[in-house]
Chains A and B, each alone.
Chain A
């Protein structure tokens, strides 16, 4: 996989993960191009697009588009299910996930993705194992979290 993008129906990028080295300008250009292309597609159209020398595989879940760019010879259907598994992971972790969860907890969305896919390839496809890794990390977090001052809790700093 070359990159993964999550964006809203309005074309706002919610998550971006790049598995090939690209400059920031290239990334912005590609995102714009891909988002535009995918948003122009009508429902019932197929989920695969040839783009440059890659394939774009995308699927819409509620207000969010999940979109992967994979190498030319990559399997499209299994990529669709990569997307679905990621959605399931988010769903299980956040408890019926919505776009806001991903906006406010973007760092979590990245952690979950890193546990699932690394360097563009599936690292662990078992839902249980991925969530176990994330929960363990959360446990560490809770132990570490000491009570904060009131001012800080309400976000004034």
Chain B
């Protein structure tokens, strides 16, 4: 097409953007006149103009005509005209176009033409446009073409990938059927190209319907085995730089990652052999010096390692993989170093290879320091984070801190969070922890989020042994001429509470402390100033000698007449308080902050009670030094006089997590760690037990993720809505949840957008009475690290109660009928909450039974009746709760027609009052 070439060189010769636009407009006018002209255009001209339009569009200009001419070209029987028509449509036609019907007609004709070249063109067009209308028109036809015996290989290849595209856009329109089993057998096809194309389709279908496609596992293994063991020339043109079928090998290994390890011993043996061969080949001298050879070979190696990690069951292979990656860490190819760091990150979370990964710590630290490419450094930081445990935490945190001083802005926030998490999780002595966080604020104050500095304050408040040290350190840090506002916040809070601990030293006498804080006051924002004012009033209590100085400050116009209401109010109130209250009153009002209440309801104690001594998770917890709930809870208290956190919050999350299968507790994965450290306050009481008497609320919340629950029950059926909220601004990748209980497994859409919420619905049917709650396992990737957490879903036997109203007489009659000793369960326990009648009533109603009035002769007591509906049987239950206000104790008695039910109800309820 000469005209086209001339036009293109004209455009290239344009000296300016304006000239180019001028030339294009001229051409557009010309084409428009040709299309509109009276003279019918022949196919060649039409083709040429359509091609010019396409070129103009690809330059980035809008095209609003020519579509019809392109559609006309589709029905030409000249191949090149048809081809240009299809190309134009693939690039330019939107799915909502009105032309779709005409296009679909042309495609239909070509598909039934039995001319393989035309068929392929039509299939390419469907695969390129992939609109819903096309899926509606062809989703039935393409599977037939794909599995028909007489279809040419090239057409099969196009059909397979075309179907894949339609399945991705409109999975509901691609119906599984008889063809699916035949598609799986394409893995055995003689033509390697057909296998290569088909496997992409099979992998995608397997991900969505694993059961229907599970026969593909053994087929894939035998195909892989044949490729891996073939000589480098056996596969002719499918050998790429001496590597046999690298693309297909990678895809086979990827397909296997959709499934657990093969159960059949022979298949598994063959697969392990393949994996070993791949690892062996990595050690052989290269057959070519070309980078293509090593890339293709290593692509297979990395995919094999992914599979080994996915199985996570072959210690020998895991360690070999780790050693191989260790070699790559020092390779001269940046690409290999990058990939090795990335892949090792996942290896670090396997219990089998964690130790092996750790041996490379020096190399990784070196990478963090010396790599010239920020993306490689980021990978190194991720890996350090993943390989961190108690043995190397100090070293890693120190390295990360020093890296933070020069780190790229784009990754600072993430780094800060990581350092804060590691410092807390592996704090052996808390002075180290305090130093680390203060350093963090010093080095990267802008990137230290509220949670991080709240946390350091909570920990200092809750630990007597670190308070003096914290006061001294923060005092020193504040000496710096320019210090970050977050440092002022921490300093104000800590000196206000514990300034007395360092006041003995004349260098940090009360007035020096006050002057130091006040020297920062004017540079701070309103919330920080408010916090400082609270610190000042605390000073008046701690150090009477500062009273007149501070009162003068409070009295100054800039405080007492401040235009900000909050500041003004504080100044007025504090001034008044300091002048009229007696020392005793002042001392009471401004007493040191009590430790965070979580300590009272220690989760550890709870855990021990639940799991008995020696349980893995309890040990783990002690090791991790998370004793007591002191690390939990996150509300700001002191600075803001009105915000005193009062809800006890033993970390529900932590309990829920640890109550999961031991695997979770044992694997020091990054996931559980984030969860532990940042279990927020606000979420009150045990995540699981909190829902015994209610159906809606927040089940779990941490820094990254919030899980809300709404549930409803009727008879023996229930429905639970889980809402997953992503609290970060980053996408979670490969987000999957698994519910394990009576065998049913759910898989969620694998993406949660940043800031987005995803809903999952679980239908529940109670077959028989039960004690163990179903478990919800959540896995996703955030910032390169795999997050893994397991929660107990709050489905308890009482959810299936039907309330039963009955009169006093009936109640006692039935009570007597249930008189066998095993039918009764009784517990006497201390009140955990205030004994408020209304609250108790509300809880009992929430339990699901009928609350019977005027039944018990003692009006203080509560009695309830209900029937638990299960598929297998109905279990009638009666309950009596006797509060003793003086002793702050309760006696709870449950009688049911089934002993396990009485016992379980009693256990559940004993935690509620």
Contacts and interface: CB of A to CB of B under 8 A. Distances in A.
Contacts of A96: none
B161 A119 contact: yes
B879 interface: no
A35 to B, nearest CB: 12
Interface in A42-73: 42, 44-50, 52-53, 72-73
Contact of A129 (B78, B193, B246): B193
Interface string A112-135: 001000111111111111000100
A157 interface: yes
Interface in B274-324: 292, 295-296, 298-299, 302-303
A152 B204 CA distance: 49
Interface in A76-108: 76-78, 80-82, 84-85, 103-104, 106-107
A49 B240 CA distance: 25
**Residue of B200, B248, B337 most packed against chain A (CB within 10 A):** B200
Interface of chain B, main secondary structure: helix
A156 B6 CA distance: 9
A124 B193 contact: yes
B130 interface: yes
Contact of B117 (A137, A146, A155): A137
Interface of chain A, main secondary structure: mixed
Contact of A144 (B78, B128, B295): B78
Interface in A14-62: 15-16, 19, 21, 24, 28, 42, 44-50, 52-53
A125 B240 contact: yes
B8 A126 contact: no
Contacts of B127: 118-119
Contacts of A141: 79-80
B51 A78 contact: no
B54 interface: yes
Contacts of A154: 2, 6
B734 interface: yes
A125 B128 contact: no
B200 A75 contact: no
B296 A144 contact: no
B200 A121 contact: yes
Interface stretch (B162-170, B171-179, B438-446): B162-170
Contact of A125 (B44, B162, B238): B238
B84 A107 contact: yes
B338 A46 contact: yes
A157 B45 contact: yes
A45 B376 CA distance: 9
A155 B131 CA distance: 37
Contacts of B131: 21
A45 B372 contact: yes
Contacts of A45: 334, 372-373, 375
A81 B299 contact: yes
Contacts of B84: 107
B44 A148 contact: yes
Given A45-B334, A50-B375, A125 B83 contact: no
Interface string B95-133: 100000000000000000000010010011001101100
Contacts of B192: 125-126
A154 to B, nearest CB: 7
Contacts of A13: 58, 60
Contact of B196 (A72, A123, A148): A123
Given A114-B124, A153-B2, A48 B161 contact: no
B339 A76 contact: yes
Contact of B193 (A16, A75, A126): A126
B19 to A, nearest CB: 16
Contacts of A156: 3
A136 interface: yes
**Residue of A15, A24, A47, A119 most packed against chain B (CB within 10 A):** A119
A46 B335 contact: yes
B616 to A, nearest CB: 31
Contacts of B913: none
B36 interface: no
B414 to A, nearest CB: 12
Interface in B723-761: 731, 733-734, 751
Interface in B353-407: 372-373, 375-376, 378
Contact of B197 (A114, A122, A157): A122
A123 to B, nearest CB: 5
B196 A107 contact: no
A46 B340 CA distance: 12
Contacts of B339: 48, 76-77
Nearest to A84: B292
A126 B237 contact: yes
A46 B200 contact: no
A77 B296 contact: yes
B303 A124 contact: no
**Residue of A44, A118, A141, A145 most packed against chain B (CB within 10 A):** A118
B154 interface: yes
B147 to A, nearest CB: 17
A125 B193 contact: yes
Given A106-B58, A128-B237, A157-B45, A48 B197 contact: no
A80 B8 contact: no
Given A45-B373, A53-B751, 20 more contacts: A45-B334, A48-B375, A50-B378, A72-B733, A76-B299, A81-B240, A84-B295, A104-B5, A118-B157, A121-B200, A123-B157, A123-B161, A124-B193, A125-B193, A125-B240, A125-B245, A125-B248, A127-B237, A128-B237, A141-B79
18 contacts: A46-B334, A48-B335, A48-B375, A76-B302, A77-B295, A77-B335, A78-B296, A81-B299, A104-B8, A111-B87, A114-B124, A120-B165, A122-B247, A124-B197, A125-B245, A126-B237, A133-B120, A155-B6
9 nearest A-B pairs in the assembled complex, by CB-CB distance:
A155-B6, A77-B299, A119-B165, A121-B200, A78-B299, A140-B79, A126-B237, A118-B161, A46-B334
Interface of A: 13, 15-16, 19, 21, 24, 28, 42, 44-50, 52-53, 72-73, 75-78, 80-82, 84-85, 103-104, 106-107, 110-111, 114, 118-129, 133, 136-137, 140-141, 144-146, 148, 152-157
